[in-house]
Amino acid sequence: MEGMASAVEFRDVTFQHASGRTVLSGVSFTVREGESFALIGRSGSGKTTILKLINRLLDPSGGDVLVDGKSTRQWDPIRLRRRIGYVLQDIGLFPHLSIAANIGIVPTLEGWEPSRIDTRVKDVLQMVGLEPGDFMNRYPHELSGGQRQRVGVARALAADPPLLLMDEPFGALDPITRAELQQELKRLLAALNKTMVIVTHDIPEACVLGSSIGLVQEGKLVERLPPAKFLQSSHPEVQAVIRSLTIQNVIHE
């Protein structure tokens, strides 16, 4: 990854709630093109806030967030968001729109030709392992949780954005479906050369999907390492997370 341009960069970023509560302080990191950065940490540690600062759902209170080398403050938020795919835990599929219309939403907003949208929708459905003929005309409530998540990923990929943001995308799924989707997403990322920032509270998921893992603790990025090194980190919070994992494994045996 040496020499690759930075896709996302945080420079000493601080974020305070309107209430005055500090959510993030002094967060700095760089995600290069094609890299995948997994953020882990306890609930309320500030992981999701980091994502929302990237697509400008939030503006930093201090410091700078750069996307493609340009501060998000200088980006037109609409333009910025249309080149970032976003998958959130609750998916947020549009219940009144068919699966095809859901997936085609950003291309539609971008004014693509209907025939081009149709082709693209079929392509991304296939990419996420759903048969276009079976799914295009159905509605979100007719789908299982795993299928909806696939549609959510397909929707994020539709306009072929260079950057993907995922907020616990598979959190609500059963472990088997979850592992399947993780593997498929990993394969897709490698094939499409996307940059990704993913929030998860699941270490195995972070190891599968992240080329590096960052630990967020009380609004600070306290550790950032490649998966293999991360698991050997002596940081007490990393140790705590890994211990929780080990105990789970013991119970499962």
Partner 1 sequence: MLDFISDHANEIVQLTTEHMMLVGIAILGAILVGVPLGIMVYQQPRLRTVILGLVNTLQTIPSLALFAILIPLPLIGGIGARTALIAMVLYSLLPIVANTFAGLTGVNPAVREAAVAMGMTDRQLLWKVELPLALGVVFTGIRIATVMSVGLATIAAAIGAGGLGMFIFRGLAMLDTRLILAGALPAAAMALLANYGLSFIERRIGGRYAPMRQGS
The pair of structure tokens assigned to 207 is 């190891």
Which residue's CB is nearer to partner 1, number 112 or number 139?
139
Whether residue 230 contacts residue 213, with contact meaning beta carbons closer than 8 Å, is answered with yes
Strand 212-217 to 220-225 pairing: antiparallel
**Eight-class DSSP state of 72:** T
Would you count residue 43 as binding partner 1 (CB under 8 A)?
A: no
Q: Which residues share a beta bridge with 38?
A: 198, 213
Min separation Cβ 219 and partner 1, Å: 21
Which residue's CB is nearer to partner 1, number 84 or number 221?
84
Binding window for partner 1 (CB under 8 A); candidates: 83-91, 112-120, 187-195, 216-224: 83-91
Among 3, 18, 78, 250, binds partner 1 (CB under 8 A): 78
Min separation Cβ 196 and partner 1, Å: 15
Would you count residue 81 as binding partner 1 (CB under 8 A)?
A: yes
Dihedral in degrees, nearest 10, Cα atoms 4, 188, 106, 60: -50
Among 18, 20, 79, 234, binds partner 1 (CB under 8 A): 79
Among 59, 90, 134, 174, binds partner 1 (CB under 8 A): 90
Min separation Cβ 102 and partner 1, Å: 9
Q: Which residues share a beta bridge with 196?
A: 36, 164
Which residue's CB is nearer to partner 1, number 8 or number 238?
8
Closest listed residue to residue 230, CA positions, set 247, 250, 207:
207
3-state secondary structure 128-142: CCCCHHHHCCCCHHH
Min separation Cβ 152 and partner 1, Å: 8
N- to C-terminal Cα separation, the chain? 39
Among 82, 138, 220, 235, binds partner 1 (CB under 8 A): 82
Binding window for partner 1 (CB under 8 A); candidates: 33-41, 66-74, 75-83, 112-120: 75-83
- Positive/negative CA dihedral, 75, 66, 166, 130: positive
Distance CA 111, CA 117 (A): 9
Residues in contact with partner 1 by the rule CB under 8 A = 55, 57, 77-82, 84, 86, 88-96, 105-106, 109, 139-141, 155, 165, 172
